[in-house]
Chain A
Amino acid sequence: GAVVSQHPSRVICKSGTSVKIECRSLDFQATTMFWYRQFPKKSLMLMATSNEGSKATYEQGVEKDKFLINHASLTLSTLTVTSAHPEDSSFYICSARVFWTGVEKLFFGSGTQLSVL
């Protein structure tokens, strides 16, 4: 079964509204989660590293005020796209760094397709 659950899988919203995407680590604690973004036929780009209980670390060029990341517990990280605009339309994926059978591994969510009208 899935180790990481990402929700919703697809969301359509109006321009100017905010959208929250959840990434849950199922049955495992994830001190670190990662958020990626993919434009059509482009590379999956790391946006930020989310650490439980501390501020997220954003990659260069990613607006931290636009993409709010909260990692309030060891099993949940959220990405909020604030005041979304059509150019924010993209595919967003999270991953979680967990201990799996004694070894640290990276598991991915199934992604969220965001469409901003």
Chain B
Amino acid sequence: AQSVTQPDIHITVSEGASLELRCNYSYGATPYLFWYVQSPGQGLQLLLKYFSGDTLVQGIKGFEAEFKRSQSSFNLRKPSVHWSDAAEYFCAVGPNDYKLSFGAGTTVTVRA
């Protein structure tokens, strides 16, 4: 069975500060790993994904994530947060691009 845990329900960060969102997964084989972002009233938007190759993945909007097999983690990072990064972030795992299991999400609040 596949599952995803996002330990942090809510994170508040100052604009310009760095951000790291944690994600731990459980999966029996080599997983596809994803980070999605959802702004209010919007659909989920793919930030980045990993399947193979370089374990440090670059995504859109200045985000990156690092796959660590030994820790079953796929944490998302951004060096300098902008107010527009305030949203809900979901980590997901699956056997392909479509059949995904999502975490419960982490809400990011950005303070001025």
Of the candidates B43, B97, B101, the one whose C-beta lies within 8 Å of that of A2 is B43
Do A97 and B98 form a contact, CB below 8 Å, given A41-B9, A42-B104?
yes
Do A106 and B42 form a contact, CB below 8 Å, given A43-B103, A44-B90?
no
Give the interface segment out of A13-21, A79-87, A107-115: A107-115
The smallest C-beta distance from B14 to any residue of chain A, in angstroms, reads 25
Does B44 lie within 8 Å of A108, measured CB to CB?
yes
Distance between Cα atoms of A108 and B38 in the complex (Å): 10
Interface residues on B, range: 20 to 34
Smallest CB-CB separation from B9: which chain A residue?
A41
Interface string of A3-16 (1 = CB under 8 A from B): 01010010000000
The number of inter-chain residue pairs (CB within 8 angstroms) is 54
Which residues in chain B, 56-111, are within 8 Å of chain A measured between CB atoms?
90, 92, 97-105
Smallest CB-CB separation from A3: which chain B residue?
B43
**Is B4 part of the binding interface, using a Cβ–Cβ cutoff of 8 Å?**
yes
**Is A67 part of the binding interface, using a Cβ–Cβ cutoff of 8 Å?**
no
Which residues in chain A, 87-110, are within 8 Å of chain B measured between CB atoms?
93, 95, 97, 104-110
Q: Which residues of A contact B (CB under 8 A)?
A: 2, 4, 6, 9, 32, 34, 36, 41-46, 49, 93, 95, 97, 104-111
